[in-house]
Amino acid sequence: MAKREEAVNMTDQFAEFKELKNIDKTTLISVLEESFRSVLAKMFGNDDNFDVIVNPDKGDCEIYQNLEVVPDGEVENPNTQISLSDAQADDDPDAEVGEDHTRKIDFAKFGRRAILNLRQTLASKILDLQKDAVYNKFKELEGELVTGEVYQVWKREVLLLDDEKNELLLPKDQQIPTDVYRKGETVRAVVHNVDNKNNNPKITVSRTSEVFLRRLFELEVPEIHDGLIVIRKVARVPGERAKIAVESYDDRIDPVGACVGVKGARIHGIVRELRNENIDVIPYTSNPQLLIQRALSPAKISSMRLDDEAKHAEVFLRPEEVSLAIGKGGLNIKLATMLTDYSIDVYRDLDVEEEDIYLDEFKDEIDEWVIEALKEMGCTTAKAVLRTPREQLIEQADLEEDTVDNILAILREEFEE
């Protein structure tokens, strides 16, 4: 009786495992059946003539052996055959030669070795199930935010544990340079990569990925989460500075203002999470000239030459604007290059004199929408427009020939005086 209870307890333990690991009942039944069949096959050579019935509600398992009834004294294989007299004595008085006889098997009677074998087989299959469940769960979470508690800090990586005690590895190259980790503190990251080499799932998370920045904005900015604002481009040097280009699907929503929040409330939370990483938010445009101009902010561009095929831009600025465009350690121009996918060369515009005038000063003589069209192609000053070929102004600013001629006349007259 003790052995029988031991077999039942194994099923109870399996049910407990189901509760903890969220494995569905169908899979559990299949694994339990396979475990019994595996042990039976080892004991009898094969399990073809056995029926294994799992009763998940009762928490037990019934095993039946199907045997061919043969005449007394002609049993050649006791694993597949039974004599007529034995079949009749085994609660089947109507048994006849050639028929099948089904015998209920009490697995516990096979002894402690068989039960131990079953336990080991179950443990192995349960471990495989657990690993598969972890792998499948996190494979679906690639690119999503997760939270873990720091469990161990090593030189090359940090081990995090999530709420279900799953192990998450944060390698050194996926950590923000200014990050400092202490055991027990909570860390947010994005699932970067999940592999299952040798059936051993390894979950790598990242805090340096641009996806991490995207997910933080989705978390802090409801309009992004709801799809009213979309992040078009992201450029990031972790721990230093980042630039993102955003676009609104609703003309009534200012995408930059929504991302920054009132008095910077929304973006401040992200900056703190990224260890004071500066974040520039700019409005996205499909116009490469205007996007480059915005990406190089806070520098103000005088003029620009683009080679769209080579994805190359030559940008001309006033001497005092060059350092702003390049940024400390070349960071600003590096991020602008990453954001726009254009290689950018910056030049001092030595032809720009002090008397050059920003186009906004001509709003009394030139329509504001025309000025904006010129600025979108990179011409922010009067002399920048005058240096640009007439045909280019017509084509890129989408202006009529008469309009362009009128603009050029107004600007030339200003300097002739």
pLDDT digits (tens, 9 = 90+) for 115-131: 787 778 777 877 888 88
pLDDT in tens, 127-143: 888 888 899 999 999 99
SS (H, E, C) the chain: CHHHHHHHHHHHHHHHHHHHHCCCHHHHHHHHHHHHHHHHHHHHCCCCCEEEEEECCCCEEEEEEEEEEECCCCCCCCCCEEEHHHHHHCCCCCCCCCCEEEEEECHHHHCHHHHHHHHHHHHHHHHHHHHHHHHHHHHHCCCCEEEEEEEEECCCEEEEECCCCCEEEEEHHHCCCCCCCCCCCEEEEEEEEEECHHHCCEEEEECCCHHHHHHHHHHHCHHHHCCCEEEEEEEEECCCEEEEEEEECCCCCCHHHHHHCHHHHHHHHHHHHCCCCEEEEEECCCCHHHHHHHHCCCCCEEEEEEECCCCEEEEEECHHHHHHHHCHHHHHHHHHHHHHCCEEEEEECCCCCCCCCEHHHHCCCCCHHHHHHHHHCCCCEHHHHHHCCHHHHHHHCCCCHHHHHHHHHHHHHHHHC
Q: Are residues 271 and 203 in the same domain?
A: no
Residue 205, pLDDT score: 97
Least confident of 127-131, 151-155, 166-170: 127-131
What pLDDT sits at residue 8?
Answer: 43
Q: What tens digit of pLDDT does each residue of 275-311 get?
A: 999 999 999 999 999 999 999 999 988 888 889 899 9
Range of the domain at 393: 359-416
- CA 43-48-49 angle, to 5 degrees, is 90
Residues 60 and 110 in one domain: yes
Is 301 a member of any domain?
A: no
Number of compact structural domains in the chain:
4
Rounded-to-integer distance, Cα 326 and Cα 381, Å: 20
Do strands 312-317 and 60-70 pair parallel, antiparallel, or not at all (unpaired)? unpaired
Q: What pLDDT, on a 0 to 100 scale, did the predictor assign at position 133?
A: 85
C-beta neighbour count of 84 within 10 angstroms: 21
- Predicted confidence (pLDDT) at residue 86 exceeds the cutoff of 50: yes
Considering the domain architecture, whether residues 26 and 66 belong to the same structural domain is answered as yes
- Residue 29 falls within a domain, yes or no? yes
Residue range 193-222: mean pLDDT, rounded = 94
Residue 75 lies in a domain: yes
Token pair listed for 218: 């989705």
Indicate whether 235 belongs to any domain: yes
Q: Which residues pair with 347 in a beta bridge?
A: 316
Mean pLDDT comparison of 19-23, 159-163, 198-202, highest-scoring range: 159-163
Tell me: do 17 and 112 sit in the same domain.
yes
Task: Judge whether 187 and 148 are in contact, CB under 8 Å.
Answer: yes
**224 and 182 share a domain?**
no
Could you tell me if 278 and 363 lie in one domain? no
For residue 341, being part of any structural domain is answered with no
Torsion, Cα 297 386 346 369, to 10 degrees, reads 20
Residue 260 lies inside a defined structural domain of this protein: yes
Q: What is the CATH number of the domain that holds 173?
A: 2.40.50.140
Q: What CATH number is attached to the domain comprising 223?
A: 3.30.300.20
| Per-residue pLDDT at 13 | 46
- Domain with residue 29: its CATH number is 3.30.1480
pLDDT at position 355: 67
Q: What is the mean pLDDT of residues 258-274?
A: 93
Residues 253 and 369 reside in one and the same domain:
no
Q: What is the predicted pLDDT for the residue at 7?
A: 43
* Cis before 298? omega within 30: yes
- Whether 70 is in a domain gets the answer yes
pLDDT digits (tens, 9 = 90+) for 176-186: 999 999 999 99
Q: What is the pLDDT of residue 5?
A: 41
Instruction: Give the model's confidence band at 214: pLDDT under 50 very low, under 70 low, under 90 confident, else very high.
Output: very high
Using the Cα atoms of residue 168, residue 172, residue 174 and residue 180 in order, give the sign of their dihedral: positive
d(Cα 334, Cα 57) in Å, to the nearest integer? Answer: 64
Give the residue from 161, 185, 207 where a domain finishes.
207
Dump pLDDT digits (tens) for 317-369. 888 888 999 998 899 999 999 999 999 999 887 655 556 788 888 888 899 89
Select the more confidently predicted residue: 55 or 58: 55
What whole-number distance in Å separates Cα of residue 310 and Cα of residue 332? 21
Confidence grade of residue 6 (pLDDT, cut at 50, 70, 90) = very low
If asked whether residues 191 and 215 sit together in one domain, one would say: no
Cα within 13 Å of Cα(97), Cβ side? 7
Give the mean model confidence (pLDDT) for residues 88-105: 85
Domain assignment present for 296: no
Per-residue model confidence as pLDDT tens digits over 204-213:
999 999 999 9
User: Given pLDDT bands bounded at 50, 70 and 90, which one contains residue 396?
Assistant: confident
> Is residue 3 very low, low, confident or very high in pLDDT (cuts 50, 70, 90)?
very low
